[in-house]
Each structure stands twice: as C-alpha cells, then as structure tokens.
Amino acid sequence: MNSANRGLSAVLNRLTNKLQQDWLVNDSLHELRSLLNVDRVVLYYFYSQWKGQVTFEALSDRKYSIICSTGPDECFNLEYAQLYLSGRIKLTDDVETASLTACHRDFLKSMQVRSNLVAPVLPHGKLWGLLAAHHCQDIRTWQVADVDLIREYAHNLAAAPSIKNFVIADRDRPNLKTSQHNA
C-alpha cells in the first residue's frame, strides 16, 4: 500500500471511528431505519471529489451490511453533485424499472437494493455526503412523509459535530453559492 493510500485509509478509519462514537449519528440512522421500516440506512461520505465510502450503517439484518463499500467512480459526477447541492432528494421505487444509468442500476443491484431514497448531507452548504435508505427485500413506493423524514434527518446529521466539524484542508468542493443548478 503506498503512502497516499495509507493516508486515505487512516483518514477514513478516523472518520469512521468518530462517526461511530457520535450518538447523534448513531441514533439518527437507527431511528430513521426503524421509522422508514427499511432494510438499511447508510451514511456515504465523499472523501475526495465525488469519490466516497459508506462510513456508517443501520441494518435490519447483518446480511445487508455494506460498510466501507465505495461507489464506482464513473457513476457519480459533477452533474449529480450539483443536483444534490441544490437539495435534491432522489427516490427510486423500483431499481429494475426506474430511469437510471446502467452504471447506477448495476451498482444498486450489487448491493441488493430494490428501492432507494437518497438525501444530501450539506453542512455549511458543502456536499459532505449522502444519507440513503435502501429497501432490499422488495420494491417500495416512497411516500411524501418518507421524503420529508429523510430530508429532516439529513439536515440534522449535517449539524452533528462529527460531520460539521470534519474538515480536510485539501478538499475543494463547490458550495451552494458557487454551484447553482436547477433540478
């Protein structure tokens, strides 16, 4: 492992440990999973320009664990980032029939996702990561109340000390003031 990878691994391990110690993050993910009655809720952190990793999860069963999973680099780009920066909530009732890129569909299917609900975590107007609810056993028709709930929890997580105070000096991310995009 080269020094850059060791450094990144150390940062990700430190972040994961800090998030696991933060009661707000822990409680929020478990509460949201229970309220939505889904198989998995994950917190996906962008450690580099639109490259990320699952840093925390709440599960209905350990078989749904995807902790430390990373997304394929080609699936998430600046266009998607700008949508989330503008507050987009992405809901997918059925990954098989939804209008998704092949890359995105294959990525979700590789994690057993049948239905997907995603909200941005935006501390200080920066796209820190994504809060995602996954239903794996069957498709799910998301309701307005589900969307409101994940939006509220993502907003609360953005205020969690582990998230809002975690800053990497070389992180160069657009914020809402400099990257406006209409969804």
Domain boundaries, the chain: 3-164
pLDDT in tens, 48-97: 888 888 988 999 999 999 998 887 767 887 888 899 999 999 999 999 99
Question: What global pTM score does this model have?
Answer: 0.80
- CATH annotation of 3-164: 3.30.450.40
In DSSP notation, 86-120 reads: TT--EEES-TTTS---HHHHHHHHHTT-SEEEEEE
Summary mean pLDDT of the chain: 84
Residue 129 corresponds to which tokens in the numbers above?
């990561």
What pLDDT was estimated at residue 10? 81
Greater pLDDT, 144 or 11: 144
pLDDT in tens, 30-61: 999 999 999 999 999 988 888 888 988 999 99
